[in-house]
Structure 1
Amino acid sequence: MENTGEREGLRLRKIGFIGTGSMGRILIEAILESKAALPTQMTIHNRTIEKACAIAEEYKGITVSASLPSLIKKCDWIFLCVKPLQMIPILKEYKDYLTPEKTLISITSPLSLDQLEGIVNCQTVRFIPSIVNRAGCGPSLITYGTSSQEDQKKSLREFLSCFSSPLEIDESITRVSSDIASCGPAFISFLVEKLIEAAVAETTITKEEATYIAENMLIGYGALLQEKLFTLSTLQKRVTVPGGVTGEGLKVLNEETGDMFHKLFVKTHEKFDEDKYFIQKQLEKEQKGS
């Protein structure tokens, strides 16, 4: 049963967003439409101010701030939703406003929590959302910095649970966890589109028919997992009748995929290492200049 007192406590928090690009906007929409917070609790900022104003026009009550010091001073939780190389200059310039009672929530993985805590004195959290959170469900990933206080951890987890299924992870598995949770929907969409393309090429089914069937299959598939009627393994076994059509298809998939996903994780980690390298170089440059 929902604790009304805790819920009201969340209602009183002021939430700031620095960056309202693709993922920033998705998060704002997920928060507001799940009623995790009210528009009047939210202050947003974007380098292109028109993007922030467009969100405020849609969700009446949101405050658009052209001033980052004003946003930071006003808010308890500050979501930092900018590109990795934009983060450090922002944090360096406004670190004095990020005081210990505030919580900085980074949705970007290449800048480690240790590096964040080396710049700011506030509480730090890494939160990796997924596009599926826009539907008020799906995984999200949390890693807390050493400065995070227990009451803040509890409140933040309750807040994130309004529109996602948060999982606390160790920082060492950030990239692979993000590949599954955040990049996974794009990977699965790609594979399903390939399934549709092949169906259209090899048979007389139309693209519209194949797409309709595939999309609704995914919706039903998700419902089966959500209701815990099957696991990934038991679902596959239930559909696969010995000597049947599904089994023949699975043989092809087993042969053709091979080490495909192994290569995928190698590539995503190589890109991650590249991003971390440039972040480190930027930090070193900032340190020399200070």
Structure 2
Amino acid sequence: MALRIGIIGTGNIGGMLAKAWASAGQAEVFVYNRTPQKARDLAREEPRIHLAASAQDVVRFADVVVVSTKASDGRELMAAIGDQLAPSQIVATTISTIPLQEVETWTRARVVKIIPSIVQTARCGILLVSYGSRFDTARQECFEALLSQISVPFAVNESQLRVCSDMTSCGPAFLAGLLRAWAEAASETGHISCAEAEYLLTKTFISTGALLSSGLTIGDILHKVTVPGGVTAAGLRIVDATAPAVFKRLHEETERHSDHGSAQPLVTGQET
């Protein structure tokens, strides 16, 4: 019998996870959304997605319940469904701002926090995992096998989630922002348009990813491309002199934003 995944909240992340698991074809997926039309639209896109009438129905149907609501709704939802969850079930929350220990006070189920990324749309990339106290090694391996259908699971301590999600969950946007800034700077030379520069950078970025996928490391690429005294070396001196401060400030800002109670960016903007 196929594993049954229930997803409560079909916003950007909940909807993406539902479609990714459904397209993998190895699990039954049930969804519930407070705004029913959003769940119906999702089910129309993917025939392997089934509609649930309520959050309680998701709990009854599913082996794994993914809570992917707004952070402001998460506590109310867990208070409503927590005592209906059995110890054999798993609750995976995408809400980064509610501690695992707090979620465990609402339910006897095994609790885990997951931080997905937009790259799971293509069923690839890192998906961060932080386990609650009720997971043993065998259960972790089973859960990561499920995540492996759509991602590369990477387990971290809860205290590491912020900085790691900067690189994995926020990372695609940060990298896209860097490419956009580079394209704009290139266009300001007067020798190329911004659109042309974006095209060149996009193709170079994809090709660099292919090199890394082939087994080369970041260090290998730096070594192979950089000739001492050459143009690349001159450019890297600028990168080395300026980039560390940029990324230090980036991590400081995301940490400050998180400390003020804002949800992890992938959760922000979701609707249920």
TM-score of the aligned structures, taking structure 1 as reference length: 0.86
Contact 2:22–2:49 (CA under 8 A) maintained in structure 1? no
2:261 is the counterpart of 1:261: no
Contact 1:123–1:148 (8 Å) recurs in 2 = yes
Q: Deviations over 1:51-105 (max 9, x none)?
A: 1111100111422123111111111100111121210000112222112121100
- What corresponds to 2:184 in structure 1? 197
Q: What value does the CA root-mean-square deviation take over the aligned residues?
A: 1.7
How many equivalent residue pairs? 263
1:117 and 2:107 are equivalent in the alignment: no
Question: How far is the alpha carbon of 1:34 from its aligned partner?
Answer: 3.0
Alignment-mate amino acid for residue 49 of structure 1: P
CA distance in 2, matches of 1:71, 1:15: 8
Tell me if structure 2 keeps the 8 A contact 1:123–1:149.
Answer: no
Which residue does the alignment assign to 2:260? 274
Distance in 1, matches of 2:179 and 2:241, equals 18
Q: Which has the higher contact order (CA 8 A, sep 6+)?
A: 2
Quote the residue 2:19 is aligned against: 29
Change (3 A) 1:163 1:62: closer
Map 1:163-178 onto structure 2 (within 5 A): 163-178=150-165
Match in the other structure for 2:267: none
Deviation at 1:276, TM superposition (A): 7.7
Q: Are 2:216 and 1:226 aligned?
A: no
1:89-108 correspondence to structure 2 within 5 Å: 89-108=76-95
Partners of 2:241 and 2:130 in 1: how far apart? 37
Query: Matched residue of 1:119: which SS?
Result: coil
Equivalent residue for 2:269? Answer: none
Specify the alignment match of 1:133 in structure 2.
120
Deviation at 1:150, TM superposition (A): 4.2
Matched, 1:240 2:226: yes
Identity %: 32
Name the SS of the counterpart of 1:222 in structure 2.
helix
Contact 1:36 1:163 in 2 (8 A): no
Residue 46 of structure 2 corresponds to residue 46 of structure 1? no
Per-residue CA deviation, residues 147-199 of structure 1 (Å, 9 max, x unaligned), is: 22444322211111122111111112111111111111111110000111111
Amino acid at match of 2:218: L
- Structure 1 CA distance for aligned equivalents of residues 94 and 239 of structure 2: 34
SS at match of 1:259: helix
Deviation of the 1:258 alpha carbon = 4.6
Q: Deviation per CA, 1:230-264, whole angstroms, max 9, x where unpaired?
A: 21122112111112111121122223335111111
- In structure 2, relative to structure 1, the CA distance for the partners of 1:67 and 1:258 (3 Å cut) is closer
Secondary structure of the structure 2 residue equivalent to 1:20: coil
| Structure 2 gap ranges (5+) | 264-272
In the alignment, the residues of structure 2 paired with residue 36 and residue 149 of structure 1 have an alpha-carbon distance, to the nearest angstrom, of: 24
2: CA distance, partners of 1:62 / 1:188: 32
SS at match of 2:191: coil
C-alpha separation between the residues in 1 aligned to 2:131 and 2:185? 44
Corresponding residue for 1:83? 70
